[in-house]
Structure 1
Amino acid sequence: MSKPVILADLQAAFPGWTIWRSSTGRLWATRNRRLTGAQMEQGLEQTVSDEDVHQLVEQLRHQDRLAAEAG
């Protein structure tokens, strides 16, 4: 049996995001600040989602890396 996803743990790990689970069970994360058009052109996304917690975490890590590179 897999460990249940604790949203508070995800939120603590990614404080720049608001994370929730929809009524369909999909996990969503949206940034706590608005992106500029230039940032979005660099591959940053305002909101990401996935059905799998591990995939969502990978997306969030990738987005955080892109944000760090963008400055």
Structure 2
Amino acid sequence: MIDRIALVLVIIGGLNWGSIGIFGLDIVAALFGGSASGLSRLVYILVCLSAIWCITLFFREDRVERTARGNA
């Protein structure tokens, strides 16, 4: 469950960075009252923590892979 939440937040962060790069628009800042507002900063922090969490996905085996190898 945490993996999925983290992935959603990382996707939101990636889309936000894409909108900044392509359109010069920070969607999070636009929605929550500027990049310095408390709510925007909270979203940025959550996206950062999610990205750090997603790094762990590189070092874990997927349950599906383990099951497939067990049946092979």
> What's the TM-score once normalised by structure 2's chain length?
0.37
User: Which protein is richer in strand relative to its size?
Assistant: 1
User: Which protein is richer in helix relative to its size?
Assistant: 2
Q: Which has the higher contact order (CA 8 A, sep 6+)?
A: 2
The structure that has the greater radius of gyration is 2
